[in-house]
A and B are shown apart, each in its own frame.
Chain A
């Protein structure tokens, strides 16, 4: 079935008033041209989710191959005892970079790539709600990855393990820049993860097709939504940990130095507060993809949608209570170990519920054994085995025996390769026709699967036995004749068979683009909206956004499949303003709420990310003037990004439900920008909570040093408290005035007052901290870190308030266009609340001296 060309763009309605314009509209272009991807070098300015999503997937896959080659080299070194193929230092670098790349530069970005690409297509939107943020995140990831990889060029590849434990990673034991490459590069790359979290939350909650309530949402969206919240809360502890460790290496601040009241275990807590939820962050989207594909090949809806939702939500929460099971051998009190052991066992319940949903779905019909289905079955087999060894490792006595042995290596690869890599390959086979318009080979797919499946099990099942025979992880070689030789040989052979399977996939991928049969419309017989058009779907995704009445719209709504997709009735068929637009919805009910104006191609994300990359790389090289230049470039890019005329204050006909009229970029708390701001604040609160945790941890475990720390100046701390309360009140008034549509003059005054008070809060915090020497104790250093964090947020609030005032003064923001002030109000309130907590901490921490 072919899609007919869409209707010509109708003439725009007559203009009504001063607001009734479309800033940045391109009247010379028709609908298709407005959505076209720029050609040539300008493709780098594209912000389309389809372009950015594919970039994430391709870059992530390249990193996967690099890390895979490193793994093969590691296995070659271990193939025989007393091997000299790699020296110890190179071996350490290779296994460190293998883990680092796989965890940070492959797994998370791949899931981001799938999310960025699929979310709008599956929920009936034309793009993500913050396309520039997606592009910015991608470039941060790319530059961060390049920084990490470039360490090989400078012969400074990190060698301390993917977890960078202190004190090994401090300057005392790791001289040179290798640890700095890791800390700085990974922190830059992580910006992509947290931006993706905001993007995913706002997109799923705010841009679903009309009628798509939460219960009619594809199950993958639940998984991605929970994952996004987990990223927002899980990544900040590592970001804070990395910043603290880099500050210790660069400035000598003693956060982890036990001689000054620091604690190496603090790093482990912060790292695993991120590290364990990350396993679920990697697993959940993959399980969501399984839950999407499985019903297609069974021909029935997923069994137990509600059970799966309950399981994924509870797993999201429970996964944060497991972090210390990575620290069972560090000497924590037995009672703490038992608490984490119980939580680690507990998480098996929702995981089991989920697996039973999949198995029950399999029993509903006769599954078609397609290539994606092979990988789904492979996932079920391998992941369940990995889960079982996980329950074993949750038991403290067994964990102490198996700790740091190859048994743990086997377990984590069963979980991560079973729980992510197999579903990912299934998903690639499933969605590649959507990317390329052609089908991959069934025959080669079976070869790829069986090579991967058999190679994987040969390589990693053996490692259970190697571990039970006592072989520790991370050793570069081993003596012969102690029962490890043959098992290691088999593991290495298995690893190469696994690699051969991946090579077959790559060959088929390139082959199918010229020789693969063309994919028809909905080639798998799927039920979800991304298959509405014949692949490759046009760049705008939906010519008109259809009304949704079912969770399986392509199965249950015949009007969607009977005629050409471009002629389906729906919202926003007209394009009177020549702008990229999609429909915004109520976060829960899915009722249409607004029309979202989306940005056209722009260079600002690339410029901003480039500036940040310069800032980070120059800091690594200790060229601080260049760091400042990078910071200024980033600031200029971000300012250009947000400096554009407001779109709100206009009402347009959506073309559905008898001429339903909706506001453009509504000024309301349920709007996408406010939801995005709340998502950002969640991340900021998690960052702040990580610092508070660090302070409380050191206070509790190092009481002598906490007692010896100078208390901040009480008078100024008290003043900071009072001014923070005033800042909260002013921010509340700003937000309220924006919602009520108050006059420009009043809001301008509030902007000015807020900027003044913010400046005063920052000054009083600085004066309060002056008596405290940050190099005196780790506790004092954490106090300064909290002050610096709040100061950074205050600087943003100040800049934002001045920025909003300037925009009003130059006419870029007119009366009634209060969205920027609504957002400023929420951000200001959150910052003020953190100021209040910090001031209280300063009032009571330390001792007057």
Chain B
């Protein structure tokens, strides 16, 4: 059982070298005596195995990305009048526009499904104009892809988002009395954070109209706002039905996000 005693001195020598062994930094000649020690010393073998597992696990930890508004905040703080190359910007802008078009369609569809025909006319308007124009922007001939064109298309996409948001906000404003005051306060707080991100993104775009990251940040924040409003409406609907479990699920999701 006591495998350490005969090799106690070797254990002392082993400790500082175990990392070189674990990190595979030793040549064959240096490795052999250590491996021979490990073969006869359970304690050191466990340590080497554990450190290998820690190292292996560390290398497979997931990576995360900062939210797009971080760039908006940076750009917001920098006074940088130098415009960017229009062509560099265009590829990213097309992606942003396509996403905006998809999001507006999704918003309007959700609202129609959630609220039924009575409330559909108001938010339907952006669906009729927004995606059509945004899609047109996405397939616009590359020969005329100037900043002026892109800026115009982004303004249209932005306006469509705003129209959809206004429609959703109207619903929330008229129906939110059914919400618990504490929940309503949390929703309001989250909305304030998103609105702040929208404001910072707009400032960043104003100082750098060609910034792809600032545009991404703006549309990301707009998308978050739409999602929060959608969640709020879904919550209102389940509260009306007395579906406590459904309400708890939605509230959990909103708070988590």
Q: Do A and B come from one complex?
A: no
Q: Which A residues have a C-beta under 8 Å from some C-beta of B?
A: none
Q: Which B residues have a C-beta under 8 Å from some C-beta of A?
A: none
